[in-house]
């Protein structure tokens, strides 16, 4: 198997595949993904992609809405670049054949929480799936892109650690576990791009797929990259509450099209959002998630209800066919009854610090998508800003790579398994995974306290020592690698949360309920 490429992209979501397609005309690209190409979060995105396309809307309004949702912490340059690049990103997807929803021959624009205008382009209520289908088809048809599925990132290959080269440190590629052949391969490249998604699986309840284990964030941290703002974990307010509906989201657009949040019938079916925020159901996600959390705790509820049954069945079939069908499979007729929902960990707003071209602190290493902290999302991501961030920064990173002369890649040491054995008790991994996700949910969830954060930090320290011993002694597996990364990201989330002595955006600490006069990022240095 060939193991050297011009560019190595780790992750097959929208960010990774966009970068691959932009680079394909000039570079030999490898895309590594730890499961199938569409098993990441991009394929699950329901709502859409925000872009200023309608008359009466403006780039300035989109920027302002982003800053308001981000609670004053959004980077001005990153926000401006993303908003300005959004319309071209939509046109690029149209050129690839993405079947966006239309009305009277024009793109249908919907509205989501936090937006002051209709500017969300979508493909019914399965935008991510439609976009990914087009990209995957194009990637598979491109000869200069090699796709390697079922390859799990082990660690980055660094010049000073694995090739005995003097400083400054640069990234030479990555070690990856080939699960089919059960061996670790050294993949080398002049440029490496981390696009591995977020870390939602660090929490017990999440809307994320099983792949969201923070692999790129943890690997970049171990390589010497700064991370920032990881205390800002966005909890999607409305995940379907049903024992057989793992991680199924009820799109933000349901509230955008008139869905109302209510208490269950035993509590009067009363609408409650106007009591929490003047924007009611159209408030940003952090406000809505905390309101639902407060009502659930106040009344001892397992869930609340989201009711859009007042809309005609034809409207629901046109706009939310997948939600309608999935709920129907579970015995819920959303044309006649409300949808039971709960908040769930949804989006990692912080990540690896990058510039406007995706560059990190380590030379020849780039980061994109949910793995990155570009500064766009601030303290809370505005709905439907994430997919466009993937595309705008993928294009910028590809341009930066094209402008950089390729560097020679020295011989690197192969992965050494001579001193490890097969694990004796795999149950240890599953127990540690379960323990981590439960105490992160209890102690570092929607509402936090200093004491809860301290308890989480203590538990994480114990888990880290146990997992590191396991990692050193036994052959790697995907489960072990993911657990190692999740525990590392959990530590970074808690450290960031402990450093923020205020409540801002997605981070709410009862011991620090007020807003600091100055909005500053939380940056951790390895």
Q: Give the whole-angstrom CA distance, residue 284 versus residue 450.
A: 25
CA distances from 502 to 112, 197, 276, 446 (A): 27, 27, 20, 14
CA distances from 41 to 34, 59, 285, 475, 479 (A): 13, 27, 18, 28, 19
CB distance 482 to 215 below 8 Å = yes
Q: Which of 190, 220, 216, 196 is nearest to 23 (CA)?
A: 190
Judging by beta carbons within 10 Å of its beta carbon (0-12, 13-18, 19+), is residue 152 exposed, middle or buried? Answer: buried
Residue 202 per-residue DSSP state: G
Asked if residue 168 has a cis previous peptide bond (ω within 30° of 0), the answer is yes
The residues that are catalytic are 285
CA distances from 28 to 142, 363, 411, 423 (A): 10, 19, 19, 37
Buried b (16+ CB within 10 A) or exposed e, 322-347: ebbebbeeeebebbeebbbbbbbbbb
CB distance 262 to 307 below 8 Å = yes
């Amino acid at each position: 198997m060939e193991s050297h490429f011009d560019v190595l992209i780790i992750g097959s979501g929208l960010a990774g595949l966009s970068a691959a397609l932009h680079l394909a005309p000039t570079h030999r690209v490898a895309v590594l993904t730890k499961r199938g190409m569409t098993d990441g979060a991009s394929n699950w995105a329901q709502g859409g992609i925000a872009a200023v396309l309608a008359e009466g809307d403006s780039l300035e309004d989109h920027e302002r809405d982003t800053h308001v949702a981000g609670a004053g912490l959004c980077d001005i340059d990153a926000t401006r670049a993303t908003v300005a690049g959004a319309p071209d990103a939509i046109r690029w997807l149209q050129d690839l054949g993405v079947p966006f929803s239309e009305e009277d021959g024009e793109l249908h624009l919907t509205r989501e929480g936090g937006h002051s205008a209709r500017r969300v382009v979508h493909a019914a209520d399965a935008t991510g799936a439609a976009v990914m289908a087009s990209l995957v088809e194009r990637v598979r048809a491109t000869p200069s892109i090699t796709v390697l599925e079922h390859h799990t990132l082990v660690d980055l290959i660094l010049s000073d650690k694995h090739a005995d080269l003097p400083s400054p440190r640069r990234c030479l590629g990555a070690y990856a576990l080939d699960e089919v052949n059960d061996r670790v391969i050294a993949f080398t490249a002049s440029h490496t791009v981390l696009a591995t998604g977020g870390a939602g699986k660090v929490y017990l309840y999440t809307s994320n797929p099983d792949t969201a284990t923070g692999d790129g964030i943890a690997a970049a941290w171990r390589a010497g990259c700064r991370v920032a703002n990881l205390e800002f974990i966005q909890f999607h307010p409305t995940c379907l509450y049903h024992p057989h509906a793992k991680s199924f989201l009820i799109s933000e657009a349901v509230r955008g099209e008139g869905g109302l949040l209510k208490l269950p019938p035993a509590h009067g079916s009363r609408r409650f959002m106007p009591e929490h925020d003047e924007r009611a159901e159209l408030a940003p996600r952090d406000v809505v998630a905390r309101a639902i959390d407060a009502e659930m705790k106040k009344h001892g509820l397992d869930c609340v209800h989201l009711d859009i049954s007042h809309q005609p069945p034809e409207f629901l079939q046109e706009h939310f066919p997948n939600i309608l069908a999935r709920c129907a499979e579970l015995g819920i007729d959303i044309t006649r009854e409300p949808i039971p929902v709960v908040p769930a960990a949804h989006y990692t707003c912080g990540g690896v610090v990058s510039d406007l071209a995706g560059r990190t602190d380590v030379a020849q290493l780039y980061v994109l998508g949910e793995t990155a902290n570009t500064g766009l999302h601030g303290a809370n991501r505005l709905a439907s800003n994430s997919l466009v961030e993937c595309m705008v920064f993928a294009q910028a990173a590809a341009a930066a790579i094209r402008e950089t002369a390729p560097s020679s890649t020295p011989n690197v040491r192969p992965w050494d398994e001579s001193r490890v054995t097969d694990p004796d008790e795999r149950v240890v991994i599953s127990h540690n995974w379960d323990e981590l996700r439960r105490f992160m949910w209890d102690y570092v969830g929607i509402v936090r306290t200093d004491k809860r954060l301290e308890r989480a930090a203590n538990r994480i320290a114990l888990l880290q020592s146990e997992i590191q011993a396991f990692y050193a002694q036994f052959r790697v597996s995907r489960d072990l690698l993911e657990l190692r990364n999740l525990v590392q990201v959990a530590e970074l989330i808690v450290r960031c949360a402990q450093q923020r002595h205020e409540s801002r955006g997605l981070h709410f600490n009862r011991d620090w309920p007020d807003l600091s006069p100055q909005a500053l990022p939380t940056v951790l240095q390895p």
